[in-house]
């Protein structure tokens, strides 16, 4: 089924609202007029009743007819029946009175053979128990006709006003939704090459302006992600180009003339190093790709953070001792997380810290358990990182020291990005601060309940 | 010892066969799943190395057939898909280990040896020995040429591992995993430093070196004739 357009929906809604409102008004008016007619009829009938009681105060069944005819001839649309207290009919003022008249006293409305009557039942002598009954009938066909005409009018009004508001509403909705069409036009023009298109927010109505703002923000984020992605692919190509060209050149040069076994072995070893570096790069990238696709699902095992940190500090102890760096840890917290993933994340941070700590420096790990969550801080003394580089630290392939050291175990620059992915997979945040000779990585993790 | 490799990529299969044969194993290599399953069900093999994606029957199906036939032959999976689910799936079906491509051959060899060793109950040794190096597991003491050597707890664990698997090339990742329980590829040179410090204590004062670096692959503890 085709979905209705927004303008049609609004127009239909307007029409429905108008129809309901005019219908309610019409029904109320029609009820009020009917009540008004009943009131008029009652006054008329009660006036007659008083007259009749006066005229017939000494009536007997035998002479009733003559006196009644006198009395009734004054009112053409009024007919009368007199019956005894036992229900027996004494007299009808007209020949064709309807059957089945109500016997209970008071005012009522009946319909008989296409004619509507207002009927008033009352005793002739209110103070006598065996009084004959008077039944006054008033033909109200003309009232009913009026009411029917009015009902037709009401229906017509409902229909016409609904139609009119539908048309007006459609027009109003279309012109009101013009800013949306503008958004749609911009959205249509957006592609990977034109992510910089933006909507003008200032001359839009407030509701749409907010949407336009969000839309622009979305475009901004997309643009940013896309830039990163393009840079990422370019970086991958660039990172792989160096080892590949080394491999190619080295292998070709080795093969240009016969060489000694030692030389061949040396060439293969050199190639092996390049290949291992590339394999590590590919594995790291796959890990990050998994994180990007939300496939990095940490196990939730209860962990003592202090224990984990101590194990890591013990692991790094030889390296730290060699570099003359002091390692320390304070605080503890319990957490639910993935041991291997968290160890990998912290190991990258510690490795990074060791690399940038000056000789005789210090690396401190501080765990703070707070009611809202916990924070783990790894800080190292050293030169620090300049303010403008801080936000880029977690970017892929970002290296504070751009030169890749030949044959060393240098990271491809994915370590901090991996750490960030792991922290995020645990629902946490990581940031870096640098001041007064200290560089500080702060991990904030939610309390795992 | 007879090993079965089911791997459809000719280059990978070829090098696996060559490498493992040179490491002293008797290798059978087939390239399609159906033949692989027939051979695996014969029960003649000490270990199965299965690729996941295979023509005929895939690695999972072969594993299931082997397990439902009541064979408990150790199975090592090779997968190109670095998905956790793959690993979990394999281990649930009864695989003993799982290696993700690209992997280092030294890593594969070390894991193959671990799996083969798992089956045979190792004798409860109290001392481990190589040449004039002696490690006493009960008193936790190390001596070389009768000279007492003081080691930290981790250095002791590292040396114990090297001694238990003497003659095997142990990749750095395996050492990190077994000695420090660091089960991920870390690019730190912690292992290098740790080995260097162990060497300082074990090898430096002796003419006959026991710890050797196999460039690009790992470390090996063995006696080499000078």
pLDDT digits (tens, 9 = 90+) for A110-156: 877 777 888 888 887 777 777 778 888 888 888 888 888 888 988 89
| Candidates B182, B184, B189; nearest CB to A319 | B189
Decide if A14 contacts A166 (C-beta within 8 A). Answer: yes
pLDDT of B36 > 80? The answer is yes
* pLDDT for residue A59: 64
pLDDT of A413 > 80? The answer is no
A286 and B187 within 8 Å at the Cβ level: the answer is no
Can you list the domains of chain A with their CATH numbers? Answer: 6-166 (3.30.450.20), 206-292 (1.10.287.130), 301-445 (3.30.565.10)
Interval A324-333 mean pLDDT: 91
pLDDT digits (tens, 9 = 90+) for A154-212: 889 888 988 888 898 888 888 888 877 877 887 787 777 777 777 777 777 787 788 88
pLDDT digits (tens, 9 = 90+) for A54-100: 777 766 655 656 666 666 666 667 787 777 777 777 777 776 777 76
Asked if the peptide bond before residue A322 counts as cis, ω within 30 degrees of 0, the response is no
User: Please, which residues 21-80 of chain B have a Cβ atom closer than 8 Å to chain A?
Assistant: none
pLDDT of B153 > 80? The answer is yes
ipTM exceeding 0.85, yes/no: no
Residues B152, B155, B159: CA angle, nearest 5 degrees: 140
Decide if B58 contacts B52 (C-beta within 8 A). Answer: yes
Local confidence band at A344 (pLDDT 50, 70, 90 cut-offs):
very high
* pLDDT for residue A52: 78
Share of chain A above pLDDT 70, in %: 90
Interval A414-431 mean pLDDT: 90
Local confidence band at A422 (pLDDT 50, 70, 90 cut-offs):
very high
* pLDDT for residue B23: 86
Nearest to A176 by CA among A202, A198, A206, A197: A206
Decide if A174 contacts A202 (C-beta within 8 A). Answer: no
Is B217 at the interface with chain A, CB within 8 A?
Answer: yes
Decide if B152 contacts B200 (C-beta within 8 A). Answer: no
> A446 to chain B nearest CA, in Å?
24
A279 and B190 within 8 Å at the Cβ level: the answer is no
pLDDT digits (tens, 9 = 90+) for B102-141: 888 888 888 888 888 876 656 677 888 888 888 888 888 8
CA distance B42 to B54: 19
Which residues of chain A neighbour B189 with C-beta distances below 8 Å? 319, 409
Local confidence band at A409 (pLDDT 50, 70, 90 cut-offs):
very low
């Amino acid at each position: 089924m085709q979905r209705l357009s927004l303008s049609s929906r609004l127009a239909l809604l307007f029409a429905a609202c108008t129809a309901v409102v005019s219908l309610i008004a019409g029904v109320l008016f029609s009820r009020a007029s009917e009540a008004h007619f009943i009131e008029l009829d009652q006054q008329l009938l009660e006036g007659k009743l008083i007259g009749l009681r006066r005229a017939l105060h000494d009536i007997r069944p035998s002479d009733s007819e003559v006196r009644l005819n006198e009395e009734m001839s004054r009112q053409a649309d009024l007919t009368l029946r007199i019956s005894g207290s036992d229900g027996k009919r004494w007299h009808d003022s007209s020949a064709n009175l309807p059957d089945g008249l109500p016997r209970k006293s008071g005012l009522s409305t009946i319909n008989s053979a296409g004619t509507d009557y207002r009927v008033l039942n009352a005793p002739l002598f209110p103070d006598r128990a065996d009084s004959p009954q008077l039944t006054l009938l008033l033909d109200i066909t003309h009232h009913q006709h009026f009411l029917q005409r009015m009902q037709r009018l009401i229906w017509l009004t409902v229909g016409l006003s609904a139609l009119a508001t539908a048309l007006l509403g459609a027009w109003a909705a279309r012109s009101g939704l013009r800013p949306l069409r503008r958004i749609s036009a911009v959205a249509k023009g957006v592609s990977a090459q034109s992510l910089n298109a933006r909507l003008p927010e200032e001359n839009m109505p407030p509701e749409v302006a907010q949407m336009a703002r969000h839309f622009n923000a979305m475009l901004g984020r997309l643009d940013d992600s896309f830039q990163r992605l393009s840079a990422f692919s370019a970086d991958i190509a660039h990172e792989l180009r160096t080892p590949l060209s080394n491999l190619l050149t080295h292998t070709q040069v080795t093969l240009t003339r016969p060489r000694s076994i030692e030389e061949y072995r040396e060439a293969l070893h050199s190639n092996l190093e390049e290949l291992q570096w590339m394999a590590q790069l590919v594995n790291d990238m796959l890990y990050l790709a998994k994180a990007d696709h939300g496939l990095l699902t940490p196990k939730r095992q209860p962990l003592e953070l202090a224990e984990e940190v101590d194990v890591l500090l013990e692991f790094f102890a030889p390296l730290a001792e060699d570099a003359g760096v002091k390692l320390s840890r304070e605080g503890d917290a319990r957490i639910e997380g993935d041991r291997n993933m968290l160890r990998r994340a912290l190991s990258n941070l510690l490795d990074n810290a060791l690399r940038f700590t000056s000789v005789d420096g210090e690396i401190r790990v501080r765990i703070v358990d707070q009611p809202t969550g916990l924070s783990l801080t790894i800080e190292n003394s050293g030169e620090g990182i300049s303010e403008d580089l801080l936000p880029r630290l977690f970017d892929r392939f970002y290296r504070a020291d751009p030169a890749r050291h030949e044959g060393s175990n240098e990271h491809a620059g994915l370590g901090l990005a991996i750490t960030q992915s792991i922290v995020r997979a645990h629902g946490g945040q990581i940031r870096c601060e640098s001041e007064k000779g200290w560089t500080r990585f702060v991990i904030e993790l939610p309390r795992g309940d | 010892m007879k090993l079965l490799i089911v791997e459809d990529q000719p280059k990978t299969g070829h090098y696996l066969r060559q490498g493992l044969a040179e490491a002293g194993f008797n290798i059978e290599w087939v390239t399609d799943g159906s033949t692989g399953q027939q051979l695996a069900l014969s029960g003649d093999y000490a270990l199965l190395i299965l690729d996941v994606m295979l023509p005929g029957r895939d690695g999972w199906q072969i594993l299931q057939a082997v397990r439902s036939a009541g064979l408990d032959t150790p199975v090592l999976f090779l997968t190109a898909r670095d998905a956790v689910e793959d690993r979990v799936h394999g281990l649930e079906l009864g695989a003993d280990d799982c290696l993700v491509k690209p992997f280092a051959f030294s890593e594969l060899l070390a894991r193959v040896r671990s799996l083969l060793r798992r089956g045979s109950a190792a004798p409860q040794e109290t001392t481990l020995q190589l040449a004039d190096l002696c490690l006493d597991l009960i008193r936790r003491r190390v001596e070389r040429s009768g000279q007492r050597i003081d080691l930290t707890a981790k250095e002791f664990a590292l040396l114990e591992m090297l001694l238990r698997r003497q003659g095997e090339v142990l990749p750095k990742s395996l050492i990190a995993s077994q000695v420090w329980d660091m089960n991920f590829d870390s690019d730190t040179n912690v292992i290098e430093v740790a080995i260097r410090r162990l060497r300082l204590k074990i090898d430096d004062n002796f003419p006959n070196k026991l710890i050797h670096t196999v460039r690009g692959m790992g470390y090996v503890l063995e006696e080499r004739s000078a």
